[in-house]
Structure 1
Amino acid sequence: MVVTTVILLRHGRSSANTGGVLAGRSPGVHLDDTGKGQAWALAQRLKPVPLAAVVASPLERCQETIAPLLAGRELSPQVEDDLAEVDYGDWTGKEIKTLVKEPLWRVVQLHPSAAVFPGGEGLAAMQARAVAAIRAHDAKVVAEHGPNAVWLACSHGDVIKAVLADALGLHLDSFQRIVVDPCSVSVINYTETRSFVSRMNDTGGDVGALLPPPAKKGRRRKATKPSSDAVVGGSTGVE
């Protein structure tokens, strides 16, 4: 059924997260001690998962999050500008307690598809570029590694929420209902005609289900055409 699996990883906790500041694309925002611990623990969890590619936002907190994950793997991370944080424009670097008083805050909360940050980008534009980037990298992974490949994209909370909303078939105005905690993983399986969201905001679950199916011993694995059909009657939990 599955073509590829993409693991969406939010960066670990940063100094801006605890400081109540909207960091946006500000340079010099790093993981704090808790975030560094989260990144290390995440790397240990995902050790059994063979990753075909690792793609990440160019911002420091994402690059620092994937560093432990790449240790010991023969992989070079790919920087993807379209997975960068929202360009919050004039809101960048301001305290959240100040921003909640702005009229635009209510639009961001209740009608995010109409929200455009002064001097920055709109959330709809962010979703469009992020989804396009994920799907482009997914197509590249399929072409280079074939069906059942697993790859990882490290990005930011609002960006991941927007990609998940698209995968779930939700309007962007519903994306604020999705929770994506620091260093959590969410998983999307893309098929020819639809996507399946198999995990959201996972901070400690078993990763066995992310492993590609093993090839049968003694003979070459017969290639089968992936299906986009959903399971009817409930899944057994086994692909």
Structure 2
Amino acid sequence: MQRTLYFIRHGEPRETGRLLGSTDMPASASGNEQVHVQLEACDGIAQVIASPLQRCQAVARAFCETTGLPLQIEPRLSEMHFGDWDGERYDTLWQSARVPGIGDFWQSPWQHTPPNGESMSAFHLRLYDWWQQFTATPSPINAAIVTHAGVIKQLLAIWLALPEGYDTHLSRLEIGYGGMIQVSVYFDEHGQVWPKVVF
């Protein structure tokens, strides 16, 4: 059995230049259009799943209202929570002398947790748990998932079976606003899951 999943990053937010983790900033009209175009291009989907944050949920909901497809809101697909840094401008964060700083986090995200924020291990674990639950029962239903760049990067690590704590791909992969990654999921006769990233 096989299913196809389309993971779409939210569109450009109304204001750029900020670290938007759990900060619930909506997407701009053009950002929502970016995602809407991608959703229309998803082949044979029967379900849409979205992060609860407005920049993901709003366009997913609007698309489902026009197509009649069911929408599931999944809190575990929210972006990483950056604590005291969340919603701050990048230029302010880079100028801060606070330790750890954003530079420490970008260089070693598994070793440095944002002040009062979510650790990388906790972020990874909630996405691993979601993926395990989502694929626990073989299903032929194709779905589109509207979520965040950080979420997609963590899921890529899971799909590619990268060792826990590996972070090189985080800074070497760019998933632009409205970007999409297709994943084919195969279920063998024993129910084992074999994800394949399709370019």
Are the structure 2 counterparts of residues 51 and 139 from structure 1 closer, same or farther at C-alpha, using a change threshold of 3 Å? Answer: farther
Structure 1 residue ranges without an equivalent (≥5):
200-239
Match of 1:14 in 2: 13
Shift of the 53–41 alpha-carbon distance from structure 1 to 2, 3 Å rule, reads closer
- Could you say which structure has the greater relative contact order, defined with CA pairs below 8 angstroms and 6 or more residues apart? 2
Q: Scaled by the length of structure 2, what TM-score is found?
A: 0.83
Structure-1 separation of matches of 2:69 and 2:11 = 21
Give the count of matched residue pairs. Answer: 188
What residue is the counterpart of 2:109 in the other structure? 112
Equivalent in 179, 183, 186 of residue 181 of structure 2: 186
Once the two structures are superposed, residues 87-111 of structure 1 have per-residue CA deviations (whole angstroms, 9 ceiling, x without a partner) of: 1110012111122245432332222
Structure 1, residues 100-153: CA drift from partner, whole Å, max 9, x if none?
24543233222222231111101221122113213322335x3xxx34x31122
Aligned to 1:164: 156
Partner of 2:124: 127
Q: Normalising by structure 1, what TM-score?
A: 0.70
Q: Highest Rg: 1 or 2?
A: 1
* Separation in 1, partners of 2:46, 2:197: 19
Aligned to 2:78: 84
Q: How far is 1:37 from its partner?
A: 2.3
Identity %: 27
Q: Secondary structure at the match of 1:106?
A: helix
**2:53 is aligned with 1:59:** yes
Q: Which SS does the other structure have where 2:8 is aligned? A: strand
Q: What amino acid is the match of 1:198?
A: V
Distance in 2 (CA, whole Å) between partners of 1:112 and 1:59 is 23
Matches within 5 A, 1:84-233: 84-102=78-96, 103-140=100-137, 142=138, 146-147=139-140, 149-171=141-163, 172-174=166-168, 175-191=170-186, 192-199=192-199
The whole-number CA distance in structure 1 between the counterparts of 2:92 and 2:40 is 38
| Structure 1 pair 44–75 and aligned structure 2 pair: CA distance change class (3 A) | closer
Unaligned runs of 5+ in 2: 187-191
Which residue identity lines up with residue 112 of structure 2 in the other structure? A
C-alpha displacement of 1:68: 4.4
- 1:187 and 1:68 mapped to 2: Cα distance? 22
Identify the residue that residue 39 of structure 1 maps to in structure 2.
Answer: 35
The structure-2 alpha-carbon separation of the partners of 1:63 and 1:193, relative to structure 1 and needing over 3 Å to count, comes to closer
